[in-house]
Amino acid sequence: MSAKPARSVFITGAGIGIGAACARSFAAAGYRVVLADVLKEEGAGTAAQIRSDGGQAEFVSLDVRDSEQVDDAVRRTQGDGFDVVIANAGIARRQPFCDLDDAGWMETVDVNLGGSMRVLRATLPAMVERRSGALIALSSISGIAYGWDQHAHYSASKAGVIGLVRALAVEFGAAGIRVNGIAPGFIRTAQSLSVEHSLGEEGLRKAVATVPLGRIGEPDDVADVALFLASDAARYVSGQVLVVDGGLLVRQA
């Protein structure tokens, strides 16, 4: 009797940060992991580390702004369809709104929102045929409730991800597919540590005082929520956006 194939997950932006943490968590849970990222060295390195730890992982170079690249990467790696897809690729660029040109706006929106759309669009048909699957898209507290100075394009794109999640949950629920989002708060990643485009180390240190749980989040804190949303424990959860922020948004003062 042949062994049951491992469950599979496709993760974008999987070379570093939250995406890499998701890749490690899903691999440890027994998934075959396909890591996609525009960062080739980091993505290949994360995949190699997973394999050295006994997991199943392969890396595909991918720019989520390119529909042909997305469609080809999915076609080459999905087999009869992924069990889980995590649309995580994203960028943040600090830019005063009145100085923001069309190209700067479109770059951020095309990666954060357009990239999520392309990946989910490419992976859904096989899920529909199988009549099962879980889609997870990464938003942000900046897209759900939290204004971020000089990041209007980022906030708008992450708000768009929430709309995408809700619409797809309704459209594909009858096919047995669940669609959810995650809105992280202050998480220690390369993006948040950027002084040019985000808080930087000093900014994160100061932000601790605003978080009820008294610490900055780690990528694994988000990855574990993604693993929950993909699991049977979340079998009746769809169209939701789970905030992972240590209590930041409900703090009164």
Q: Name beta bridge partners: 134.
A: 84, 178
CA 198 – CA 183 distance, rounded (Å): 17
Q: Under 8 Å CB-to-CB from 252, ≥6 apart: which residues?
A: none
Q: Name beta bridge partners: 243.
A: 183
Burial of 17 (0-12, 13-18, 19+ CB in 10 A): buried
DSSP string, 204-221: HHHHGGG-TTSS-B-HHH
Q: Show which residues are catalytic.
A: 154
Instruction: For residue 224, count other CB atoms closer than 10 A to its CB.
Output: 15
**The pair of three-digit structure tokens given for residue 127, joined into one six-digit string:** 């899920």
Nearest 5°: the CA angle 207, 18, 99 is: 60
CA 137 vs. chain centroid, Å, equals 5
